[in-house]
Structure 1
């Protein structure tokens, strides 16, 4: 179990450090030019690379919503959920801490929202709580559906990380303007702890929506995608 939890810690660390790091360190400078597209691909690439690196050890969840969805779908033991979620959240917090220290090393730097997730006045595009709730539920749900489908036995082995990484890229292309894209409670928690204030007050949505979306589409998968 230690190896599995370590893999989840490292995978979630890489997701937060790489994804949020691209937003905080690179996208903050227009001359770099990565923008929304670059940040979206950064998140997708973190999952793709770590799914290949440690997916064979822990399953490559790196996200409490994924772990819950797989448990609901009967693909993951519910008894392992607490340990996985703690490891994922810990990895996210340590990554956010490392990113905060690194990003603060430039004189006069303004970290802004530090890639935290938000709605209302803290949504990049000013989207409401209801809009944020719906988009996070829908996108997390489809993410779980794609994970379950691409890892099914009838699909050629070895290609799942590509589909999953591209799915996460697409998810970010859709929803960065709305919520800065969560679909991952661990990722949201790490950034919110260092922003404090409004980010912690709104964090509940970025736990509730992904967990609900993941659980719902796991049920949909059992009806639509599973073999009879």
Structure 2
């Protein structure tokens, strides 16, 4: 009876359009990434490092991304990042009309993930800040949700930082999923991608905390703007907010092109055999006299 009920539920409510399924997958995947990642930052900051440290944050984002890929990978590819989606469009691995759908889902998922973290730790936020939510100062909490630059970092330095970090992320993702390269064992791709985030975090996190993802940064930043931190989240640090949006988009495209030009383009292609055709004795004699025209008498077929 229960199995029949489940089957009826699927028949009635299961989505029929693939793009809607992909929208939900990208939304949920990004939600999971932000919930675990930003949640690890919140736990560390609000406990004043009693229940977390820098390594804890690296683990939170790494495992968060890994789980996001496991959840959404089989449906949408689990881009959970507009920079990754744009790179896939450039490489022809994602249809252009799907790009805005993916991006909207990613931003909404990140916004919802930030809201969930704030709701989960609302009492801790109020205790830590005495009810005053601020971006700067000794009890600042805006950086829990979005990235802000180190004092020494310039705008140009931030753009380069984000372009390089995101470029390496996309390049490594392409390598992990490249069936003509070593690749990752089937089912282990999410773990490998999570390890890439860990590597980036422990090597490139000093400047601004490696956001590498316009949705993961801008979505939570928008949430803080409307949840009590105010529009200072956009104006602080010389209007830094656009750097973790533009930098990853540039870096993702560059990383994808570098992998294609250096590796993927040079993979050995399968040979294309000639399809044999029956010919008259007269045609065979003519073929022997004109070897240069042989290819024109055969139809090329591509092996799948």
List alignment gaps of at least 5 residues for structure 1.
none
Match of 1:178, SS state, is coil
Give CA-to-partner distance per residue, 1:147-186, whole Å, 9 cap, x none.
1110011323222212211111122223333112210000
Corresponding position of 1:115: 145
Give CA-to-partner distance per residue, 1:35-94, whole Å, 9 cap, x none.
111101111101112212220111011110110111112211122100000000000011
Bigger mean CA deviation after superposition, 50-59 or 209-218: 50-59
CA pair 196-187 structure 1, distance change in 2 beyond 3 A? farther
Name the structure, 1 or 2, with higher relative contact order (CA <8 Å, separation 6+): 1
Corresponding position of 2:178: 152
Q: Is the 8 A contact 1:27 1:39 kept in 2?
A: no
Q: Is the 8 A contact 2:213 2:244 kept in 1?
A: yes
Corresponding position of 1:3: 21
Corresponding position of 1:199: 233
The answer as to 2:243 corresponding to 1:224 is no
Q: Could you state the TM-score of these two structures normalised by the residue count of structure 2?
A: 0.69
CA pair 161-207 structure 1, distance change in 2 beyond 3 A? same
Pairing of 1:18-57 with structure 2 (within 5 A): 18-29=36-47, 30-32=49-51, 34-57=52-75
The answer as to 2:206 corresponding to 1:177 is yes
Give CA-to-partner distance per residue, 1:80-138, whole Å, 9 cap, x none.
1000000000000111112122222234223622332122xxx3x64222221111100
Corresponding position of 2:89: 71
Matched residues, number = 223
List alignment gaps of at least 5 residues for structure 2.
1-18, 130-139, 269-304
Q: Is the 8 A contact 1:16 1:95 kept in 2?
A: yes
- Take 2:247 and 2:105, find their aligned partners in 1: how far apart are those partners? 20
Q: Is the 8 A contact 1:50 1:60 kept in 2?
A: yes
Q: CA RMSD in A?
A: 1.7
Q: Could you state the TM-score of these two structures normalised by the residue count of structure 1?
A: 0.91
| Cα drift, residue 18 of structure 1 | 0.7
- Take 1:196 and 1:210, find their aligned partners in 2: how far apart are those partners? 25
Corresponding position of 2:216: 187
